[in-house]
Amino acid sequence: MVTPPPSKSQAHRLLICAALGKKPCVVACDALNDDLVATMNSLNALGADIKYHGGAFVVKPVNLKKGGILDCGESGSTLRFLISVAAALGADATFVGRGKLPCRPNSALCNALGSHGMTFEHTQPGMELPLVCKGTLQGGEFTLPGDLSSQYLTGLLMALPLVSQNSRVQVDGVLTSAPYVGMTLDAVRSAGIEIVQDKNIYYIRGNQCYDLPPGTIVEGDWSSAAFWIVAGVVGKSPVKVCGMNRHSLQGDRHVIEHLRKMGAYIEVADDAIVAMPSQLFGAELDCADTPDLVPILCVAAAAADGTTLFTNVGRLRYKESDRLAAMNKVLAAFGISSSVGDDTLTVHGGTVTAAENVETFGDHRIAMSSAVLATLAHGETKISGAECVAKSYPRFFDDYVSLGGYVENI
Amino acid at 326: A
CA 227 to mean position of chain CA atoms:
14
Please count the other Cβ atoms lying within 10 Å of the Cβ belonging to residue 403: 16
Of 292, 343, 398, 399, which is the active-site residue? Answer: 292
Is residue 240 a contact partner of residue 272, using CB atoms and an 8 Å limit? yes
Query: Known catalytic residue: 292?
Result: yes
Say how far apart CA 314 and CA 294 lie, in whole Å: 11
CA angle centred on 281, ends 279 and 286, rounded to 5°: 130
Say how far apart CA 272 and CA 290 lie, in whole Å: 21
Please count the other Cβ atoms lying within 10 Å of the Cβ belonging to residue 199: 8
* DSSP state for residue 212 in the 8-state scheme: P
As separate numbers, helices (DSSP H) first and strands (DSSP E) second, the chain gives 12, 21
The bridge status of strand 337-340 relative to strand 344-348 is antiparallel
What is the residue-wise DSSP string for 255-266? Answer: HHHHHHHTT-EE
User: By three-state DSSP, how is residue 75 classified?
Assistant: coil
Please count the other Cβ atoms lying within 10 Å of the Cβ belonging to residue 73: 21
Active site (catalytic) residues: 292
